């Protein structure tokens, strides 16, 4: 059984039922990407604040994989 469409999927289907020029389609995609990137950033900021994380913590994590052993690879 397939899951029903979400409210976002229904709205996007309405939007993409329109025949728009490629340039406008690229703009729409960019707007959607920007929206979800902002939401992800907001959520990460909230998480960091709740956990008391600092910019230094994120910097350290960004390079943490470089210090791990690769198991002889």
21: pLDDT confidence band, cut at 50, 70 and 90? very high
CB count, 10 Å around CB of 27? 12
Q: Taking 90 as the threshold, does the pLDDT of residue 71 lie above it?
A: no
Residues 38/30, Cβ–Cβ less than 8 Å: no
The predicted-structure confidence for 22-66, as pLDDT tens digits, reads as follows 999 899 899 999 999 999 999 999 999 999 999 999 889 888 776
Query: Are the beta carbons of 20 and 28 closer than 8 angstroms?
Result: yes
Domain boundaries along the sequence of the chain: 23-67
Band (pLDDT 50/70/90 cuts) for residue 2 is confident
């Amino acid at each position: 059984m397939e899951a029903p469409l979400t409210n976002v999927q229904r709205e996007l289907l309405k939007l993409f039922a329109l025949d728009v020029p490629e340039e406008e389609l690229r703009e729409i995609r960019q707007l959607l990407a920007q929206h979800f990137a902002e939401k992800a950033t907001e959520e990460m900021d909230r998480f960091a604040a709740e956990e008391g994380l600092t910019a230094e913590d994120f910097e350290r994590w960004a390079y943490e994989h470089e210090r791990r052993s690769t198991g002889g690879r």
